[in-house]
Structure 1
Amino acid sequence: MEDVVRKVSITSSLMALVGLGAITLAAFPAQADNLQLQLGKHGPRLKLMEDCDPAYDDCEGPRRDDRRDRRQRGCTEDRALDKADRMGIRRARIESVGRREITVRGRQGGDRVRVTFGTERGCPILDRE
């Protein structure tokens, strides 16, 4: 008889906790615009935007203007190395960087190659040796 009473009391306690949880969730409407999911080197982190400190955090999230500016910028050293890798140049490294050109050296098919990219958008190939 004690076992039955114990099981009933445990079950009723658990049901009361579940009921209180449902009431708590129903009392607060979901506001997804106040939540931010950050994925970083320390793992995923869920953050309320109310806790945002503008001195250290990006409180507004990415803006459309930032994305457009990123697309319109010219060729950078990283982009030149990426393009050289796509061209099949292995062990590519930056040889020189100027105002109008970026020179990359590496190996392709056992031969040493040097490619000069323009700093315009799309990293156009100016010279290949």
Structure 2
Amino acid sequence: MNIARLRHPLDSVELKGFVDALDPVNAVADASDGFVWRLQSDTGNATDVPVFGDEWLIMNLTVWRDVDALTAFMYQGRHRELLARRFEWFERVEEAMTALWWVEAGVRPTARDAELRLLRLREHGPTAHAFTLRKTFGPGE
């Protein structure tokens, strides 16, 4: 899961490039090797799913086969292009905004599950319960 703090409202002209890219990037993710599932509301994404009760935060919550599949998607193609522009759309934040963890096959984490994992990561640093791309743990560790 990752969250981001918006610099402008989602319907603003400043975020048009990000909003216009959501559906195409999600379509690439959905078709990517190793992709399993993503949280989405009726809008087809999760930008309107509440995060920590803060209307300026948006969430992306996905399940991937493994860290390598997630990393391959993140740093290639259109997602990589958008990642390079993230500070146009989102504030720089000191605290952890991304947390990874293993789930059993068929499990679909909730937004609350994600919030709790991120809070745990912020409090204890990377552990098998919640980790980062820089410090990963294998399943069952």
More strand by percentage: 1
Shorter-chain TM-score range? under 0.3
TM-score w.r.t. length of structure 1 = 0.23
Q: Which has the higher contact order (CA 8 A, sep 6+)?
A: 2
Question: Whose Rg is larger?
Answer: 1
TM-score w.r.t. length of structure 2 = 0.21
